[in-house]
Amino acid sequence: MSTTNIDKLCVDTIRTLCMDAVQAANSGHPGTPMAMAPVVYCLWQRLLNYDPAEPRWANRDRFVLSAGHASTLLYSTLHLAGVKAVEPGHGNPGGLGVELDDLKHFRQLGSRCPGHPEYGFTAGVETTTGPLGNGAATSVGMAIASRWLAARFNQPGFALFDYSVYSLLGDGCMMEGIGAEAASLAGHLKLSNLCWIYDSNRITIEGNTSLAFSEDVATRFFGYGWNVTRVGDANDLPLLEKAFKTFKATTDRPTLIIVDSHIAWGAPNKQDTHGAHGEPLGEEEIKLAKRAYGWPENEKFLVPDGVREHFQQQLGARGAAARAAWNTVFAAYKKAHPELAASLESLLAGELPAGWESSLPVFAADPKGLATRESSGQVLNEVAKSVPWLIGGSADLAPSTKTRLTFKEAGDFASGNCGGRNLHFGVREHAMAAIVNGLTLSGLKAYGSGFMVFSDYARGAIRLSALMEIPAIHIFTHDSINVGEDGPTHQPVEHLAALRAIPHLLVIRPADANEVSEAWRVILRLKHQPVALILSRQALPTLDRTHYAPASGLAQGAYVLAEAPGGKPAVLLIGTGSEVPLCLEAYERLKAEGIPARVISMPSWELFERQPKAYQDSVLPPEAQARVAVEAGSPMGWHKYARCCGEVIAMNGFGASAPMKELRKKFGFTVERVIEAAKRQLAAH
C-alpha cells in the first residue's frame, strides 16, 4: 500500500471510530474529531517523541487535548497507537489503556472513555480537560516544567530533558479568559517548546463564531510574542508536517498553528454544525460520510488490517528507540552525576529528600506573634532549601502573600534563567492555578498564591486539581474581614465554605506559627490530594505549647488545644485560624469563673473527617451538647460540628471598610460574645 493510501486509511479509521463511538453512546461531539483527525495523526505519527509502551516516560512529548469535548479523537488515537496501561486505574496493566471495547462503550459507566478526558483514569491522558482553555493553560505549566527540569538536571553531554508540549484548542479555548492569560505569559517567557494548534472551524454551540467572536487571532498572538503559522486545509498532511517542523525549528518563542477546518462534514463538502456539540450525526449521515471515505457503510468500529501496524512502525518504533537511548544516557548520567541522579529519581517517584522534615522550624511562644502568612513564608523558605523541586509564586502578590523564596540560590524563573524557582504569574489567578497543575503533573512540588477573595478567579483550575487528585498547592492569604480598610470587595466571607465544598480538596486554616509549620509537614507529604492553605494578614499569637497541646495535632484536623479540668468540659469552644485565640481567651476567663470549657483547634475539616470515629468522639464527645463554633467566614457547614442546637459565631453578610478592630467588634468576633454564647449554651443544655 502506498504511503498516501495508508495515511488516508489511518485518518479515516480515526474518523470512523469517533463517529461510531458517539453514535453508540447517542451522546458526544463528532465534529472536531472528524475534522482534526489528520492533524492529530500527522503529529503523533511523524513528530511526537512518545513511546506507547511507556506513556509515563519522563522525557516524552506531551499532547494536551484542551478541546476536551473532542475526546474520541484522543481515545481513538491512543487505541490505534497501542498506548499501554502501565498502572492500576489505567485499565489492565500490560494491556491497552484504551481497548476497542472501551470505545464501544464511550460515555458509559466503567468505560475508560469518559465524556471528557480524565487524568489518572485513562492511560495517555496527560491532564483532565473539558472546561475550555484549562488544558491549554495547563500545557504552559508543562512547558515551564520542561525548561526547569532541563536547567536543573541537564549536564554537558547529558540532555535528559528537552521535551515539547502540544495542545489542541478550539474557538472556545480562544474565547475563554484563561486562554488569553496563559498565552500572554507563555509569550513573555518565550516558551519555544510550546505549540498550540488552533482548530479554526468558526463554529460554537450557538452557531457561527461571527455571533460573538470576530477578532484576528493571528494578530493577537503576534502581539503576545508568538510565532504564528497557518495551514489552510486540515487534510493537507505535508503542509501540517511542515508547520510542526517550523515549530521545532523556532527557538525564541512559542508557536501557534492555525488550522482551518470544516466541522463534522458527512457527505463531501457538507458542513453540519449540529455535529460540533453534543449530537451524534445519525445513522444515515454516518453512512454518507463512510461512503465518501470509501468505507464499508455498515461496518462499525472497523480497524482495517495494517493500521495498528503502521502506527507501531512509525510512532512506536521511533518512541521505543528514543526511550531506549534516553535510558542509556541516564545510566551513564547516574555514574557521572550520582547526587543529581538520585534527586531526579526521587522527584520522578514523587518522593521527598531524606531528612527534609528537619528543616521545619519551631517557633517560640510569643504573645505578639506573627501573621500566619509571615510564618508560612519562613517555613516555605526553609523547606525549599531541602526540597529543590519546590517552586512557585503568586499572581503579582508575593510581597503580600510572603511566598517569595529569598535565599540566594532560588532566583527568578525567566526566559534567560529557566532554573529560577520564583515564578511571576502576573495578575492571572486562573491561569496561575492551571499552570501549577501542569507543573505538578510534571513531578514538581508547585504552588501558586493570592488573596483568598480571588480564589473565585482560580476556582475552575483548583477544582480540576481535586478531580485529578494531584498534590497542587494553592496558598491564600488575607483570609477574612480582618483585611480591614480594603473593604468587602477584598474581604472573603463565603470562600472557606466554597473551597470546602470541592470534593477531595484539603483545606487547612492554621491558628498560629507552629500550626503553619505542621501544615507544611502535611502538605509536602501529599501525593494524591491538592491543598488550599488559608493564612492571615494580621499577627496571631504564637501559642505557648508547654501550656497548650502541641501543634502536631493539626495532622488529625482537629485536636484538644486546651482541656477542662479533669477532662470533663461543660462547653466546647471550636475555632479555626484567627478565631482560636478568641476561644482561648474566653476559655481562660470561663475557667476563672469556675466554668470548665474545652478549646478545640480545628484547622482542617477534611483531615478530621478521615480520623477514626473513636478519635473524633474523643475530641467532640457526643454527650457534650453545649457547643460554640467561631470562624470569620460563612456559617455554612458548621452545624455538623456545633450540632443543631449549638451556636455558630460567623459572618452572615459581607464585611465593611474600617480598621480591623472596629470590624471585629461590629461583626461580633470578640471574647465577650464567645463567653455570652458559651453561657447561653450552658443554660440551654
Catalytic residue set: 429
Say which residues have a Cβ less than 8 Å from residue 661's Cβ, sequence separation at least 6: none
Q: Which amino acid is at 52?
A: P
Residue with cell 484567627: 578
CB 244 within 8 A of CB 42: yes
Q: Cα 49 to the chain's mean position, in Å?
A: 24
User: Rounded to an integer, what distance in angstroms lies between the CA atom of residue 37 and that of residue 53?
Assistant: 22
Phi then psi dihedrals of residue 676, to 5 deg:
-60, -45
User: Rounded to an integer, what distance in angstroms lies between the CA atom of residue 76 and that of residue 234?
Assistant: 18
Task: Enumerate the β-bridge partners of residue 450.
Answer: 476
Packing angle of the helix pair 429-441, 177-189 (nearest 10 deg): 70
Q: In terms of Cα–Cα distance, which of 649, 619, 617, 624 is closest to 571?
A: 624
DSSP 8-state class, residue 673: H
Whole-angstrom CA distances from 362 to 382, 404, 481, 513, 600 are 11, 20, 28, 8, 21
Q: Which amino acid is at 634?
A: S
Residues shown for the chain: 685
User: Rounded to an integer, what distance in angstroms lies between the CA atom of residue 198 and that of residue 261?
Assistant: 10
- Secondary element (H or E) of residue 372: helix 372-386
- Secondary element (H or E) of residue 74: helix 71-81
Q: In terms of Cα–Cα distance, which of 119, 527, 123 is closest to 350?
A: 527
User: Rounded to an integer, what distance in angstroms lies between the CA atom of residue 266 and that of residue 499?
Assistant: 45
Beta strands in 408-553 (DSSP E): 422-424, 445-451, 473-477, 506-508, 531-534, 539-542
